[in-house]
Chains A and B, each alone.
Chain A
């Protein structure tokens, strides 16, 4: 039986503490759209997605209204376009894949979703011709579209690190930053470089619909850093008690996500995939992962102790959330995107949070170096080496890591990039200027670590 306190607690979470469902993401397989004629292929893609997702936004809005829970984003993820474009690309590595991105943009406009993910390639062991063609087209494709997101998986625990891909991604990110220089290099905010990428992630910019997924799936990403922070304000006990408080709160948040996922799946007639039980911050005050760490007792996020506090948080979120959902997947943990988190922005601006500390934090959080702005004159080899470092952390620890870095064209340390909305703003962070150029130029593959041999 419900009591008034529980009812008011839920309403407070929603109205005061920014509790929301961050995204309902519909994953759609595009394998049936493959065609060696690019126009035909794009036309099939447009028709298929628009048909499958025609009710996505309206259904999300009706659930939002009836349950009183905000559902911030309705999104679509698709099969990596490098696979779908392979017949059209044929043997021509100079083939321009941009028409596929333009088609996805048209789909986003028609369906009313704010992001569509899957302009992606998986190259952890090597490139196919179409992988290379797609990656070469990423700068132009993301510069001429607004709502298309791209990701490239360059490493895995099983395959090791494809250092040729790492080198190529440094170059790609720099070019993308230049092509979108009039908007603070915003194109780079739509491109993620992964190690151990999950194939059912509902969060952007890294969402795509993996080849092992079904024809069409509903995946839901929850949020709620503000709720965890508020719960910890009332907790004066030791860190065991802190962990227990986070677990209980994560359970409640995830149960709500599971309810929304089940309901969306039922109303759309599409199987439920997973709930991603992530703490995803927004730039809104009070919706910050950094503030949770500070609530635990750190003067500022970035101080010594930050990695330990984040490890506790990440683990407790998973433990609390896993019982609340029948299928957990995606990234599941705490996100630490600098530009999207008011506390991280403040810590980076004051100098308390450095890039090196962020790198350490990524060893224990759910993703990686996310939404970090660095000087526009950072050489491409440095960006590549940053990606390699992050991939190494993921590969060796059998976890997902990622890099979404913005070498903001024409800006330097002390400046700020402003994207607005959920993407927020970021102070330009200092990055080591010592050159890793020779290391990156070697290319090849860093072999898979011994812990990959589990069979």
Chain B
């Protein structure tokens, strides 16, 4: 199963590193990253594979939410199927 992580917020050094470190810690494999900075605003979407997570996916979502709060970023971690269902026939 794949999940999508979106990160938005004020651009600072090390956002990708911190999000990636959290993925690594949970054993989530990063499949794809797109990232841009618009006028100081950081926007990233990341596709990860979560089949071999060391922790429950729900706990991983909590960890990403905690990271978001700590770093003043808005992080959403969602099962990929919600996007597939809505946008693909």
Q: Which single member of B45, B57, B87 contacts A66 (CB below 8 Å)? A: B57
Question: In chain B, what residue has the closest Cβ to A8?
Answer: B6
Are A10 and B86 in contact, with the CB atoms below 8 A?
yes
How many interface residues does B have (CB within 8 Å)? Answer: 21
CA distance A255 to B57 in the complex (A): 23
Cβ of A51 within 8 Å of any chain B Cβ, yes or no, is: no
Q: A2-B80, A7-B6, A8-B6 are in contact. Are A65 and B61 (CB under 8 A)?
A: yes
Taking CB atoms, residues of chain B closer than 8 Å to A454 are none
Question: Measured between C-beta atoms, what is the minimum distance from B34 to chain A in Å?
Answer: 6
Question: In chain B, what residue has the closest Cβ to A62?
Answer: B58
Cβ of A151 within 8 Å of any chain B Cβ, yes or no, is: no
Tell which of B10-18, B19-27, B71-79 binds the partner.
Answer: B71-79
Taking CB atoms, residues of chain B closer than 8 Å to A371 are none
Taking CB atoms, residues of chain B closer than 8 Å to A255 are 85-86
Q: Which single member of B47, B58, B76, B85 contacts A259 (CB below 8 Å)? A: B85
Taking CB atoms, residues of chain A closer than 8 Å to B58 are 62, 65-66
Cβ of B28 within 8 Å of any chain A Cβ, yes or no, is: no
Cβ of B81 within 8 Å of any chain A Cβ, yes or no, is: yes
Question: Measured between C-beta atoms, what is the minimum distance from B65 to chain A in Å?
Answer: 10
Cβ of B4 within 8 Å of any chain A Cβ, yes or no, is: yes
B interface residue numbers (CB < 8 A to A): 4, 6, 34, 43, 45, 47, 57-58, 61, 76-87
CB<8 Å pairs between A and B, sample of 30? A2-B4, A2-B80, A2-B87, A4-B34, A4-B45, A6-B86, A6-B87, A7-B4, A7-B45, A7-B83, A8-B6, A9-B87, A10-B86, A11-B6, A15-B76, A65-B61, A66-B58, A66-B78, A66-B79, A67-B79, A68-B76, A68-B77, A68-B78, A68-B79, A68-B82, A252-B86, A252-B87, A256-B85, A256-B86, A258-B85
Q: Shortest 7 CB-CB distances between A and B: which pairs?
A: A68-B78, A259-B85, A6-B87, A255-B85, A67-B82, A252-B86, A67-B79
